[in-house]
Amino acid sequence: MEISCIHCKTRVNVPDQKIPKGRKASLVCPKCRQKIHIIPGEDGSYTPIDGKGEKQAKVSSKSPSKVPSQTYQPPTPAYSASNKPFEVLDENSKTALLCISHPHALELAGKIMNSMQYHTESVDNVEKALTYMKFHLFNIIILDEDFDTNRRGSSHIIDFLNELEMMSRRKVIVFLLSRTQSTMDNMASFNFSVNQIMNLGKLNGMEGLLKRTIKEHDQFYSVFNDSLKKIGKAT
């Protein structure tokens, strides 16, 4: 199925089996990274809508030509939407990306995010992480400062996030696992451009701190998001 982004007009090809049948869904445009909302019609077709609920042109179910892949540094492998388990999600779905090199921390983080009903992806190298981030705006990224150290993995990921348009960047929570920094060091969090830091020696408190960080992030932006809705600029 071909979906045309209502923001930048890029045409995105999404496998039919990835579309939740009969339900409103959303996906992130691979070019401008803005969210595309789609609603089902009685005839089985889907209609994109903007943030105000206004309808745009219907999507096409015909097989389109491939969208040219985007390139950026460091280089990433070719991406195929059919290889991603949650390229299209229900409207209220939450997603997490785990970029963690320490096995125990990775296992623990995965269990915590799954228990919190997050759709979770785990990667073991920076190229794959950046590819996923390019085609999907994750709600939370748990990043280990030792992730893919030989290729400066954590630095590349934070640089990528800092280059996002601000309306997109503020939606992503970054939770940094560190051997050297103290847990909940606000000044260090600011310097690293992350929401929260947890020392790897304090992993027994990870679940509580993750929940607290997510709650504080949502509360911080609730007033801002309400203001956007009032002036018709909600995303």
Report the half-sphere exposure of 44 (CA within 13 A, side-chain side): 3
| CATH topology classification for 93-229 | Rossmann fold (3.40.50)
Mind listing the pLDDT tens digit for each residue in 197-231? 999 999 999 999 999 999 999 988 887 777 777 77
Mind listing the pLDDT tens digit for each residue in 10-60? 777 777 766 767 677 777 777 677 777 777 766 666 676 655 544 554 444
Beta carbons of 184 and 209 less than 8 angstroms apart: yes
Q: Taking the domains of the chain in order of start, what are their residue ranges?
A: 1-88, 93-229
Cα 226 to Cα 231: distance, rounded to the nearest angstrom: 9
